[in-house]
Amino acid sequence: MLEHTRTIKEPDAVAGVILAVLVLFIAGSFFRRDLYTHSVALYWIFDALKFALLPAAALAILARGYGIRPGDYGIRGVAKHETWGQFIGLTIFLVLILDLVYYVTWYVAWLLLRPELVAPFYKEINPTGLLHLPTTLYLAVTAGFVEEVFFRGLPLLYLERKFRGALPRKSYVLGTALIFSAIHWGNGLHEVVATFAFGLLAATLYLRLRDLGL
């Protein structure tokens, strides 16, 4: 398996793992509610495949077969020239800005489009009681990590190594914003619009900072 991956060009391998995860995200949007209604256990098995097993396997292939490490797709951490306080402060500031853009756009879209409201699926599946907090943390951490890496960090890596010296920045920002909004279509049109605006800003910031932790 490892020898076979080395016969595939590096940019194509990056594109392949992005596409594999994206297909699972899009396909899951069609049947996740039905799957959850049919079997809670099967739903969580699928969720683990989508957010943990497949992404982990894909990143392992990139690491072992192509030497692509977390730093290459934006998982960098604290830089040498900054303190933990600066890192945390900037992270909080950027999260607040991104959240502000998301919620303002969501509200404007709701006022203008008045779509039929669809309850966010994560609210439907999140249990009450003792399991509420760990489930919330799992949903937040896995979704945040996988979506940022596969739909923000790796696409830029692909474009940089596919088009060396001529990075199509506008295509990157617009393309990743469209992908990011598409994977959220199951939560309604207002969510698609809000995540598109979020994606535009997030991609623009990543182009400048090259760190998904910020």
The Cα diameter of the chain in Å comes to: 54
Count up the domains in the chain and report the number: 1
- In a domain, residue 58? The reply is yes
12's CB contacts (< 8 A; 6+ apart) are none
Residue listed under structure tokens 């950027």? 94
- In a domain, residue 214? The reply is no
- In a domain, residue 90? The reply is yes
- Can you give the residue range of the structural domain that contains 130? 2-209
Q: How far is CA 34 from CA 121, 139, 187, in A?
A: 12, 19, 15
DSSP string, 65-134: HH---GGGGT---S-TTS-HHHHHHHHHHHHHHHHHHHHHHHHHHHHHH-PPP---HHHHH--SGGGHHH
Q: Using pLDDT thresholds of 50, 70 and 90, give the confidence band for residue 4.
A: very low
65-84 confidence digits (pLDDT tens): 999 999 999 998 777 777 88
In terms of phi and psi (left: phi > 0; alpha: psi -120 to 50; beta: otherwise), the region of 210 is left
Q: How far is CA 57 from CA 6, 27, 148, 151, in A?
A: 16, 19, 17, 16
pLDDT over threshold 90, residue 114: no
DSSP string, 90-106: HHHHHHHHHHHHHHHHH
What is this structure's pTM?
0.89
- In a domain, residue 182? The reply is yes
Q: What is the pLDDT of residue 1?
A: 43
